[in-house]
Amino acid sequence: MNSTSDRVVIGMDPHKRSATIEVMTADETIIGGGRFGTARDGYAAMKTYVKQWPNRVWAIEGCQGIGRHIANRLLNDGEQVLDVPPKLSARTRVFATGQGRKTDATDAHSVALVGTRMAGLRPVVNDEHLALLRILADRRRSLGDDHTRMVSQLHQLLLELIPGGAKKSLSAAQAKALLATVRPRDVVGKARRRVAAELITDLERVYRRSKDADKELREMVASTGTTLMDLHGIGPSGAARLLVEVGQITRFPDRGHFASWNGTAPIDASSGDQVRHRLSRAGNRQINRMLHIMATVQLRNPTEGRAYYDRKKASGKTSMEAMRALKRRLSDIVYRQMVNDTITATATGPGGHRGTSANSSVTGSHPHAGSSEKSLPGPAAIQLRTPLPTTS
């Protein structure tokens, strides 16, 4: 864009079948708006309407969620799109209206205000590789959810067919062997056995698809050059989820910001002379879940994470407090690993040299390395928003 004086921000509250927009100038003057359908005709009408403002940028709420479909269409048409986190637009709506009343029009207004006032909003980019990773990661998670649901249903049926039911960790082959020992004579029992057999067949199919999905994800993640899968407890699904949700790790100035974003930074709950912290329920829950799985895997094995957890328990922390501290430390490790990957990808090349050593990190590759389990009180000394080393 040539200048920002005549630039307008088009705030959008997206839905599946409609989108409400508001056009706002740099001085927060509302100069247009409306509600349009997201089908072909409605989308074309919206594009025709905004042509009167050639110097425009779109601010869309939830580009990683419900707004993704229309954000991708705008990107394909060459438009500039900014992602507005729902938390920011919700705060703006409360302060802008004074009562937080939620309608499509007020949502579009609050999104436009965020797009006008806030600097550093994340631009949406059309990265086909990340889009493919997201599709595969979502599919793998869906298969995992199907597996959990089917196993739960199978346990219920087996409990009604076999006294005491089956053991907790139940595979399809084990369930098939158990079911072979059951020969119900009544109509209800026969129906239970038939449904259980169908569930076992479905489980076998889901297991095969999960293996294929894991193989495809592993190959896709490896092609990115990331070393996330070198960390104990991160598999192809976890690495793919990190790459998709984080995007550019350099958008986080330091490890404290990253921990706050993923919900592992503790919240100060001190009162008077009692100093304590509690677990945060905010942040990106998908990444928080991935870190929880990583911590659980490390606790089940003789790893540095297990040793760190035991030291925290020995120092007087409860099991939940020690788990929180471990997840916070693992967040630092993941952050540093992704930073090192970025530096390696950008600082080396033919005839070039590495401007920053991958070993010069504030957090080592194991949980015992020295980094605070609390979020940092202020900006870190290293600001990763500055340009990374370039090749010479």
Largest CA distance in the chain: 82
| 207 and 271 fall within a common domain | no
Total domain count for the chain? 3
Letter string b/e over residues 110-132, b meaning 16 or more CB atoms within 10 A of that residue's CB: bbbbbbbeeeebeebeeeeebee
| 31 and 55 fall within a common domain | yes
| 133 and 85 fall within a common domain | no
360 in any annotated domain? no
| 217 and 265 fall within a common domain | no
Angle at 341 between CA 336 and CA 345, to 5 degrees: 150
Q: Residue 83 is part of a domain; what is its CATH number?
A: 3.30.420.10
363 in any annotated domain? no
381 in any annotated domain? no
Give residue 270's pLDDT: 78
| 34 and 15 fall within a common domain | yes
Backbone Cα Rg of the chain? 25
Task: Find the DSSP H helices in the chain.
Answer: 40-50, 68-76, 86-97, 104-117, 128-161, 172-180, 187-223, 236-246, 255-262, 285-299, 304-314, 319-347
388 in any annotated domain? no
| 184 and 214 fall within a common domain | yes
Domain boundary among 80, 102, 123: 123
Domain boundary among 223, 251, 274: 223
Give the range of the structural domain holding residue 171, as residue numbers without chain letter.
128-223
Domain boundary among 97, 123, 149: 123
212 in any annotated domain? yes
CB half-sphere exposure, 254, CA atoms < 13 A: 16
CB within 8 Å of 302: residues ≥ 6 apart: none
Predicted TM-score (pTM) of the model is: 0.74
| 139 and 215 fall within a common domain | yes
373 in any annotated domain? no
| 84 and 158 fall within a common domain | no
158 in any annotated domain? yes
| 74 and 178 fall within a common domain | no
163 in any annotated domain? yes
| 157 and 241 fall within a common domain | no
Give residue 56's pLDDT: 95
Give residue 16's pLDDT: 92
Asked whether 317 and 311 are in contact (CB, 8 A), the reply is no
Give residue 87's pLDDT: 80
| 18 and 104 fall within a common domain | yes
Give residue 90's pLDDT: 80
| 232 and 335 fall within a common domain | yes
Per-residue pLDDT tens listing for the chain (392 residues):
445 568 999 999 999 999 999 999 999 999 999 999 999 999 999 999 999 999 999 999 988 888 989 999 999 999 999 999 888 888 887 776 556 567 888 899 999 999 998 887 888 887 788 889 989 999 999 999 999 999 999 999 999 999 888 888 888 999 999 999 999 999 999 999 999 999 999 999 999 999 999 999 999 999 989 999 999 999 999 999 999 988 889 889 999 999 998 999 887 777 777 777 677 777 888 999 999 999 999 999 999 999 999 999 999 999 988 999 999 999 999 999 999 999 988 866 444 433 444 443 434 445 654 444 444 433 333 333 334 334 33
